[in-house]
Every structure is written in structure tokens, then in C-alpha cells.
Structure 1
Amino acid sequence: MRFGMSGCFLPDNMDELTPAMCQRVRELGFSGIFTRFRKNDPHTTPRHKAERVRALLADHGLRMYQATGYWQNLITPDENRRREAVRTLQAALRLAGWMGARGIDTGPGSMNPAGPWFPHPDNWTSSARRQLVKSLKECAPAAEDAGVYLSLESHQLVTLKTPEITREILDEVGSPWVRCDYDSANWITLDTIFDTTAALNHHFDLLGDHIVSCHAKDIWIENRLTLHLQDGCPGKGLMDFKTLFRRMEALNPDYPVIAEGNSTEELPFVSELFHNTARELGISVLD
């Protein structure tokens, strides 16, 4: 099993990634990163800047487990906007390849103008599903050319609201380069919050080899008079990380498990949790 980290002290601009940051990642017990270089336009960022990042990571024995897909709307019924979103995702894949990234992380987008993960009734329509499949099929050759997984993150507020729907869409796309980035918290519901073990096993049983990476995030239910499930720092909620690690290890020991939902200050706690859990399960942590 490989452990990665995301966000926290990692910069939004690839030009600001430093040797000191890479050393800090190593010292915290992680062997790779998930970066969201929001300030680097995938259409205009020159190759040499990406290759500097690639070389810097290699110098410190680190891997780019994931780069961002820039969160464009792949489901819009507006064909001009959809084609532009596809063009952006294709550029993101090319840029990720230059950085030596294993994959990119992207969702389907949302019809909600407030953000790509926010709810909108049009997110769950048959039209949205058709548009998503069309977009992913158009991006699959770019993923193959770059040697980078187009790994889809799902959530119950967007088109990929269940593992069943996600499997159907991935099967319809039918590309080994378009796969699932499994986020441990995003499909947990009121019905499963107190039994995340059963939920995880169901998700893995259903998706199987469609999964190529994992965001390890926690979730808990809050004492409010309306339903509120809050995701956050691993180890702070009800997520069964032992089952999560067992199932990821069974898929492939080389697949990355990436910490999400935590702050920089919480990284030592998360690293200790991950390494102790792996040790307890007899899972080797790979560099």
C-alpha cells in the first residue's frame, strides 16, 4: 500500500513547489502527493514548468499520485460548453502526463453555478448521464496518450450519486484509462453512517477493478435538527479505515491511498493512524 497526502501546505501554483516541501512530505511518512495547481492553466502552462515538478519529486523519491482535472462541467446540455469542458480535461491530462502523474482527479461537474460538487436537479437526469458518457469517451484517448488515469470521483450530490450508477457509466465508456477514484466518505448516507463497514464492502464488491485509487476521508453525523453528514479528518469520525485498507490492498498493493479532509496541523496524526492501521493489518507500506 502507498500513502499520499493532498492539499494542506502544498501550493496552488506549481512554480511554488520547493525542495523543502518535498522533504516535509517525506518526513511526514507519505510517498506521494495529490496536487491542485489551480493557478496553472492547463491550456497555457508550458511543458518545462511541469517537468521541473516531475524532476523535483523524483529527486526526493516522491510520486505524483494525482493532479487536478480542473473540475469542469462534463454534463451540460450546451454542446459548445461541453466541448470546451472536454478540451480542458484533455489539456489537464496532457499536463498531468508532463508532470509524471499517475492520474488526475475530476468529478462530472454540476449544473449548480455555485460549484462542481453542489446539488442541482439536472445533475441526476438521463441527459446528464448521456453527456457524461460522451465527454468521457472523448477524453479517453487523451488519457491513454498521456499514460494518465482519468480517475472519476463520485458523490451523491452529482451525476455519479451511487456506486451502481458509477459502474454503469464506466462500463458504458469502456476504457481501461477511465476509472474510479474511490472516496471513502462520498457515498455514506443516513442509512449507512453507523455501519460504514457494510457500506465500504458493498461499494468495493460492486466496483471491484474499476477502482484505481482512494481518497481516505472520514465522516460523521452532527447533532442538528436537519440531516447533516460532515466529512473531514481521518480518525475523527465513523469511517472503518481497517476495512478500507484491506479492500484497497486486495485490489492492488501499488494503489495509492490519499489522505483528505485534514489540515496541515493534523497531518502527523493522520500519518500515524495510517501507518499504525497498516501495521496492525500486516500490510506493507511501499515507498
Structure 2
Amino acid sequence: MRLGIFAKTFAGSDPGTVLAASKAAGFACVQYNMACSGMAAMPDALSVQDVAAVSAASRASGVAIAAVSGTYNMIHPDPAVRAKGLVRLEVLLRNAAAMGTGMVTLCTGTRDADDQWRHHPDNGSAEAWADLLDEMGKACALAEPLGIKLGIEPELANVVDTAARARALIDTLQSPALAIVLDPANLFEVATLTDQRDLLTRSVNLLADRIAMAHAKDRDAAGGFATTGKGVVDFPHFLGALKAAGFDGDLVTHGLAAEEAAGVANYLGRVLADL
């Protein structure tokens, strides 16, 4: 597995700066965010120069672009907001390959109108699911001809909140563009070690044929997020389950400060070496 990090962990508004910092901290790839190019994460347009700057920085640093973030609220209660997000997603999809990646990551969304990462009780409704199928279907229709994967992540606050819901989305839409980004810390808040291990194993096995990237975020004992390696997530078990399932893709960490990055790279490197 190749070690990666969210590029926006590091300060900077040009790709050369953030990719050099990623390399110095010990990472071989990044999940890129257009904010690292000094623009909106979901820009209305990208110039040839904007795109070339990312690919050039990748070549110069030796840090690969594992994916580009294309998150918007796919089940926002206002259809106009969803429509604007889809237009911006298409901008990223059409430029992803030229930036050096084959995947754009998504947010399956929430009915919360203000925060795409905040849970809403209506996320479990039939209407929310229908809106997701409609919106994701449109995204797949854009991605498939381009050969770009759409990275969807089970996330407790979103409409796809479990591995089972992710499987249902994949099986319903039957699109080759759909891929899974699996983060162990987004599958539970508080769990015993036994329950956590069982959940992680079942989730990996259920989604194994579609897992294109793994995330490495951690949780503390109270259910809050923690720096990778400092919390309760059993990374040896999680990564062992991924390896047993045949996964050999990118392992991307986030939710940490820049000054913690080198330590996290060392920790994850040791866990991988022990496998």
C-alpha cells in the first residue's frame, strides 16, 4: 500500500509547496484539493495552466495525485444547490486525468442545508435515497465516458452511512465508475475492540471488489476524532483485513496537523511493514 495524505494538511496556495511538504513528511501520494492551488475546492472553471501546475508539481516532487476532492452535498434539500455542485464536479472530472489522477472523491450528502458533513434525521428517508440515486446517476454518466472513478465513502453523518448502504448504491446503479474510499473511523463512534474488529472485517469483505482507496483517520475513546495512531482504531487489524482482501491501493491519512504528519507516516509505515 502506498502512503498518502490530504494535501491541504499543509499550508500553501500553490501545488509545488504542498506537494514538497508532503514528500518531506514521508508520503508518496496525496488526495489533492484545489484549495491547494489557491482557488475554491470546487472551482467554476480550471485553466490549462491551473491543471498543468498540479501535474508539473507532481512530477517535480515525485508525489502522485491519488485523487482530487470533488465533494459537494449530493442530497442538499435545494435542487439548485445540487445542480451547481454537479456542474462543478464535471469541471474536475474533465481535468482529473490531466492532473495525473483517475479518481475524484465525493460526499454522498446530508439533508442538513448548512454542513455537508453533519447528520440530519431525514438522511434515512426514502426521498433522500431517491435523490442520491438521481444525483449519483448523473455523476456516473459524466464519469464513465472519461474513465474516471467516483470515490464514495461510508460516513456516519451522510446518507451512505454504512458499508451496507454503499453496497446497495453500487448494486443499484451498476456503474463501473463507482469506487469505495474506506475510512475505519467513519464506520463507528464508540465500540468495543471486538465489535470494532468485527465491523471493520465485515465492511472490508462486503466492499472488497470496489475499494480503491483507504483512509487512515482515528477516534478517541469518547468517539471524537484523533490523530492517526493516537486513538482506538485498530489499524493493524484494519490494514490486515484490507491486505487479506487483496487491496494494494493508496492509504491516505487526514485529520492531523502538519507538524504531526511525519510521525503519522512513520507509524503507518511500521504497521504496513509488520504486515
Asked if these proteins are the same fold (TM beyond 0.5), I'd say yes
Alignment of 1:59-208 (within 5 A): 59-69=60-70, 71-76=71-76, 78-192=78-192, 195-208=195-208
Please give the secondary structure, in 1, of the residue aligned with 2:230. Answer: coil
Alignment of 1:19-38 (within 5 A): 20-38=17-35
**Superposed displacement of residue 55, structure 1:** 1.8
Contact preservation (8 Å) 2:189, 2:224: no
Contact preservation (8 Å) 1:196, 1:238: no
Aligned with residue 15 of structure 2, among 10, 14, 17:
17
Bigger drift between 72-81 and 271-280 goes to 72-81
C-alpha distance in 1 between matches for 2:189 and 2:24: 36
Q: Which runs of structure 1 show a deviation greater than 6 angstroms over 4 or more consecutive aligned residues?
A: none
Contact preservation (8 Å) 2:160, 2:166: yes
| 1:226 alignment partner in structure 2 | none
* Residue 221 of structure 2 corresponds to residue 231 of structure 1: no
C-alpha distance in 1 between matches for 2:218 and 2:194: 12
C-alpha distance in 1 between matches for 2:185 and 2:162: 12
Amino acid at match of 2:63: L
Q: CA RMSD in A?
A: 2.1
Amino acid at match of 2:227: C
Amino acid at match of 1:238: V
**Identical residues among aligned pairs (%):** 24
| 2:267 alignment partner in structure 1 | 273
**Superposed displacement of residue 277, structure 1:** 0.9
**Superposed displacement of residue 162, structure 1:** 1.4
What are the ranges of 5 or more consecutive residues in structure 2 without an aligned counterpart? none
C-alpha distance in 2 between matches for 1:31 and 1:37: 19
**Superposed displacement of residue 194, structure 1:** 6.1
Q: Deviations over 1:49-79 (max 9, x none)?
A: 112211220222221112111x322224544
**Cα 1:160–1:205, aligned 2, differ >3 Å: closer, same or farther?**
same
C-alpha distance in 2 between matches for 1:132 and 1:237: 32
Amino acid at match of 1:89: L
| 1:53 alignment partner in structure 2 | 54
C-alpha distance in 2 between matches for 1:59 and 1:148: 24
Q: Greater helix percent: which structure?
A: 2
C-alpha distance in 2 between matches for 1:8 and 1:155: 20
Q: Deviations over 1:114-140 (max 9, x none)?
A: 310101122221111111111111111
Bigger drift between 86-95 and 154-163 goes to 86-95
C-alpha distance in 1 between matches for 2:173 and 2:142: 14
C-alpha distance in 2 between matches for 1:80 and 1:266: 39
C-alpha distance in 2 between matches for 1:60 and 1:251: 31
Structure 2 length as normaliser, TM-score?
Answer: 0.89
Bigger drift between 193-202 and 104-113 goes to 193-202
C-alpha distance in 2 between matches for 1:211 and 1:192: 25
Bigger drift between 181-190 and 80-89 goes to 80-89
C-alpha distance in 2 between matches for 1:196 and 1:249: 17
Aligned with residue 234 of structure 2, among 213, 237, 240:
240
Q: Deviations over 1:186-208 (max 9, x none)?
A: 11143456642222101112212
Amino acid at match of 1:25: S
